[in-house]
């Protein structure tokens, strides 16, 4: 038996023996996993773990380093090769095992610290992320600095060994549930707007940090406004060096947009759309969805999703050779945004008049949820970088078109 076969066998056996029953996807959940609500664990100091098996599973996987399987062992990871990590992911899917931990620590700030942090920063922050002891949010956008991110006005002024922070961030996802924030602030008001920015880490559990949730039309929102008034953080908590925040911000955006594209790409699969269409539109004599136009739309959406899946898979293979996500991540973010909007619009279109439900009699909970999901999807073209900005990046940095 080869080393890979041995690892696969041992991994399968360990997962099957140790994963608690409630930490396995049901049929419905596995077909449509979500990164919100009560389904998955984000960890952090505010996590309550209503289900004890959730914490048990997190601790077991963290002990093996499998919350971040490819990270170095000294940083809390599993030290696995890319090949072994792929086997682990395959066996988790095979056994319908839920991930023990999700969040921006694993997908965004953790990879950035691994690439650009000092050894002290790696040992300080990464083990906490792997153990699910700290939850992170992102402080980029401001009321006057959204698409023009380099226009940030939040200031970080040196005071001895610390920075004193003052300013406002907006659209800070899950800030009300987070322990720490990674963000960009202006540390040099005399330099050009790109050169005067630094990338900092700050603990949110201190005086001067105020978080206010932002409501959305869908009825659910992870977004918040975050106000910083004389908030302090150590000068040791700068990633990439003072004045190098713009480069760090762009590097992290590559990870973020790749993560967003994968998250948007999850959702109703072809079979779910077909089942929905059969329920509301009926079938023809051959058992196909009765409406030919809807059949065509489902087929087109299925092909588009397959194209994105294959392109993402090809990019992941490139990352194994050392290629880091760059401007091409804007392609994934834009395309996945449009795909998710099309998918939610098609679902509501299949419902017909029942797709107008919000609450009250006459609509099932499932119908109302599809309507809310459709409304929420409208925001995909704004969050994580607007679609217009993504198209500009693709035109200039991917296709090399002139200004």
Catalytic center residues? 256
**Burial (CB count <10 Å: 0-12, 13-18, 19+), residue 217:** exposed
Q: What is the DSSP letter of 116?
A: H
Residues 6+ apart with CB under 8 A from 239: 112, 113, 116, 117, 121, 182, 199, 200, 201, 248
Q: Is 360:284 a contact under the CB 8 Å cutoff?
A: no
What length is written for the chain?
Answer: 403
Residue keyed to tokens 């596995």: 30
CA distances from residue 117 to 123, 236, 238, 241, 248 in whole angstroms, order as listed: 10, 10, 9, 9, 10
Task: Scan for tokens 């198209």, then name that residue.
Answer: 391
3-state secondary structure at position 226: strand
Of 128, 152, 362, nearest to 246 by C-alpha is: 152
Q: Nearest CA to 364 among 374, 355, 352?
A: 355
CB contact at 8 A, 312 and 262: yes
Q: What are the structure tokens assigned to 236, written together?
A: 């040791």
DSSP state of 32: S
Tokens of 400: 């090399």
């Amino acid at each position: 038996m080869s080393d890979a076969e041995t690892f696969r066998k041992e991994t399968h056996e360990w997962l099957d023996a140790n994963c608690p029953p409630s930490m396995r996807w049901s049929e419905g959940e596995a077909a449509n996993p979500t990164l919100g609500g009560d389904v998955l664990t984000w960890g952090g100091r505010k996590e309550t773990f209503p289900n004890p098996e959730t914490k048990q599973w997190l601790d077991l996987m963290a002990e093996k380093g499998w919350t971040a399987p490819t990270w170095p062992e000294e940083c809390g990871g599993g030290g696995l090769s890319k090949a072994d990590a792929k086997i682990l992911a395959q066996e988790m899917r095979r056994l319908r095992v839920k991930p023990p931990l999700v969040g921006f620590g694993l997908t965004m700030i953790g990879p950035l610290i691994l690439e650009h942090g000092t050894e002290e920063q790696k040992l300080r922050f990464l083990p906490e992320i792997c153990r699910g002891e700290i939850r992170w949010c992102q402080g980029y956008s401001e009321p006057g600095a959204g698409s023009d991110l380099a226009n940030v006005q939040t200031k970080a002024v040196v005071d001895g060994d610390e920075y004193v922070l003052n300013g406002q961030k907006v659209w800070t996802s899950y800030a009300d549930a987070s322990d720490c924030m990674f963000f960009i602030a202006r540390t040099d008001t005399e330099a050009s707007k790109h050169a005067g920015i630094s990338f900092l880490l700050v603990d949110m559990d201190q005086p001067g940090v105020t978080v206010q949730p932002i409501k959305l039309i869908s009825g659910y929102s992870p977004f918040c406004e975050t106000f910083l008034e004389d908030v302090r953080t150590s000068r040791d908590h700068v990633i990439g060096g003072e004045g190098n925040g713009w480069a760090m911000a762009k590097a992290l955006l590559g990870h973020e947009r790749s993560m967003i594209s994968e998250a948007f790409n999850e959702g109703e699969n072809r079979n779910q759309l077909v089942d929905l269409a059969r329920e509301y539109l009926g079938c023809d004599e051959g058992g196909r969805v009765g409406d030919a136009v809807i059949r065509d739309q489902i087929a087109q959406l299925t092909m588009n999703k397959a194209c994105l899946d294959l392109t993402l898979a090809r990019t992941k293979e490139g990352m194994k050779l050392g290629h880091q996500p760059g401007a091409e991540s804007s392609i994934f973010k834009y395309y996945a945004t449009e795909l998710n909007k099309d998918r939610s619009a098609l679902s509501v279109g299949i419902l017909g008049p029942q797709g107008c439900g919000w609450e009250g009699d006459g609509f099932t909970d499932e119908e109302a949820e599809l309507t809310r999901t459709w409304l929420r999807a409208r925001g995909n073209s704004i969050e994580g970088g607007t679609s217009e900005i993504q198209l500009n990046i693709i035109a200039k940095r991917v296709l090399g078109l002139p200004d």
